[in-house]
């Protein structure tokens, strides 16, 4: 059964874990942007606004288990980035990470947000770092979870061929990706039917997710969203985002590293020790190239820390912010 995301929906009606989280839609530079919002459950000493950026192929829903606990200390805003969730862009290229800073600046203006604590997960980490670099007065702190960022210099051979391939990839990969999403959807439906299936659990863990640690509410929602992501405009957005991620790690790595060097906001990097999506060496390279950042490895989780251990995530962020 599907679910509705009408503006004003209270997600607490679906799960007590999500009480106080509501959907909103707002115009940002001519684009209808869907986002989740939660107001502080208690009056904080100093007003804090957390801006959460989701991974590629996901949406604002992917942060749901984190929003309510985080809102005890401040307002939480979680947008569906262009090309994802329920934010349909006029141009699929708006989904590319390099275009995120201007989108996020427009969102902050539209919602009358001043300074924000930016949380970026996976590709959302790349979007968040670019935003912090280009709009430093907006970002008071930066929290990156398994971010898609370049480490030590490693320029690709044949950069012209890389650029040509990345330019063509969003078109060429459209059909194979739709097929892969159909297969993924069937896998999640099987998991829902039999969550004790050891073969499926092992397969998902190899993808750096131990599904047994994810809340049943989020798993059910995830299965629904895998079906929804097959919409053509979402597939196009995901492919554009993927191409920009690969470019950031290859042909544009030098430019991205220069952006990282411009960041002045205190930065926390969280890395699941069992992350198999991004190599552990990248975590070490970020630690060495940015000794002013706080880099913390988290035991017992993979690439999806906010899904697998939302309580741990909030505690780590809260402890870091009070230091």
Quote the pLDDT of residue 193: 67
Q: Are 162 and 250 in contact (CB under 8 A)?
A: yes
Q: What tokens does 121 get?
A: 């997960």
Sign of CA dihedral 25, 55, 154, 299: positive
For residue 236, give both structure tokens.
């196009």
Which pLDDT value is given to residue 194? Answer: 67
Top-confidence range, 189-203, 234-248, 290-304: 290-304
pLDDT at 199: 66
CB contact set of 126 (below 8 Å; sequence gap of 6+): 97, 100, 120, 147, 148, 149, 244, 245, 248, 256
Instruction: Enter the tokens of residue 125.
Output: 């980490």
Higher pLDDT, 175 or 98: 98
In the chain the beta strands, taken as DSSP E runs, fall at 22-28, 31-38, 49-53, 75-79, 116-121, 139-145, 267-272, 294-298
Instruction: Give residue 177's pLDDT.
Output: 45
In our burial notation (b when 16+ CB lie closer than 10 A, e otherwise), range 269-303 reads bbbbebbeebeeebbebbbebbeebebebbeebbb
Which of 12-16, 26-30, 244-248 comes out lowest in average pLDDT?
244-248
Q: For residue 144, is pLDDT > 50?
A: yes
Quote the DSSP letter at residue 156: P
Burial class of residue 193 (count of CB atoms within 10 Å of its CB; 0-12, 13-18, 19+): exposed
Cβ-count burial 64-99 (b if 16+ within 10 Å, e if not): bbbbbbbbebbbbbbbbbbbbbbbbbeebbbbbbbb
pLDDT at 170: 53
Average pLDDT over residues 223-240: 81
Full strand arrangement of the beta sheet holding 31-38 = 22-28, 31-38, 75-79, 49-53, 116-121, 139-145, 267-272, 294-298
What is the per-residue pLDDT across 54-82, written as a single tens digit (0 to 9) for each?
998 899 999 999 999 999 989 999 999 99
- For residue 154, the tally of other CB atoms under 10 A from its CB is 10
pLDDT in tens, 177-214: 444 555 556 666 666 666 666 666 665 555 556 677 88
The predicted model scores a pTM of 0.88
Q: What residues have CB less than 8 Å from 155, skipping those under 6 apart?
A: 250, 251, 253, 254
Give 72 or 4, the one with higher predicted confidence: 72
Give the C-alpha separation, 37 to 51, whole Å. 10
pLDDT of the residue at 263 = 97
The hierarchical CATH code for the domain 11-322 is 3.40.50.1820
The domain ranges of the chain are 11-322
Cα separation, 129 vs 141, whole angstroms: 11
Residue 267's SS3 state is strand
Residue 267 in this model has a pLDDT that exceeds 80: yes
The rounded distance, in Å, linking the Cα atoms of 1 and 94 is 31
Give the tokens for residue 323.
């230091």
Q: Does position 45 have pLDDT exceeding 70, yes or no?
A: no
Q: Which residues contact 239 (CB under 8 A, 6 or more apart)?
A: 92, 169, 170, 173, 174, 177
Q: Which of 162-166, 190-194, 288-292 has the highest mean pLDDT?
A: 288-292
Residue 187 confidence (pLDDT): 66
Q: In the prediction, which pLDDT does 153 show?
A: 54
**What span, in angstroms and rounded, lies between the C-alpha atoms of 147 and 289?**
15
């Amino acid at each position: 059964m599907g679910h509705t995301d009408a503006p004003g929906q209270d997600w607490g009606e679906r799960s007590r874990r999500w009480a106080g989280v509501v959907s909103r839609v707002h115009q940002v530079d001519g684009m209808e942007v869907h986002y989740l919002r939660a107001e502080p459950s208690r009056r904080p000493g100093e007003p804090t606004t957390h801006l959460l950026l989701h991974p590629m192929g996901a949406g604002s829903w992917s942060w749901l288990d984190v929003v309510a606990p985080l809102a005890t200390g401040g307002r939480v805003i979680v947008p569906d980035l262009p090309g994802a969730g329920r934010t349909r862009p006029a141009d699929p290229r708006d989904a590319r990470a390099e275009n995120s800073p201007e989108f996020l600046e427009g969102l902050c203006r539209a919602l009358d947000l001043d300074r924000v604590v930016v949380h970026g997960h996976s590709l959302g980490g790349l979007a968040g770092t670019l935003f912090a670099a280009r709009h430093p007065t907006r970002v008071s702190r930066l929290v990156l979870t398994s971010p898609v960022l370049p480490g030590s210099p490693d320029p690709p051979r044949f950069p012209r061929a890389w650029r040509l391939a990345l330019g063509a990839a969003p078109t060429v990969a459209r059909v194979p990706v739709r097929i892969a999403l159909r297969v993924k959807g069937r896998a999640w439906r099987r998991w829902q039917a039999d969550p004790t299936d050891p073969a499926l659990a092992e397969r998902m863990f190899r993808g750096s997710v131990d599904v047994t640690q994810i809340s049943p509410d989020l798993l059910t929602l995830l299965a629904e969203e895998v079906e929804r992501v097959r919409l053509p405009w979402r597939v196009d957005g995901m492919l554009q985002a993927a191409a920009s991620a690969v470019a950031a790690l290859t042909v544009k790595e030098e430019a991205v590293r220069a952006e990282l060097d411009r960041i002045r906001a205190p930065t926390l990097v969280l890395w699941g020790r069992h992350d198999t999506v991004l190599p552990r060496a990248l975590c070490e390279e970020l630690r060495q190239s940015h000794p002013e950042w706080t880099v913390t490895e988290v035991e017992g989780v993979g690439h999806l820390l906010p899904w697998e251990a939302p309580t741990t995530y909030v505690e780590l962020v809260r402890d870091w912010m009070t230091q």
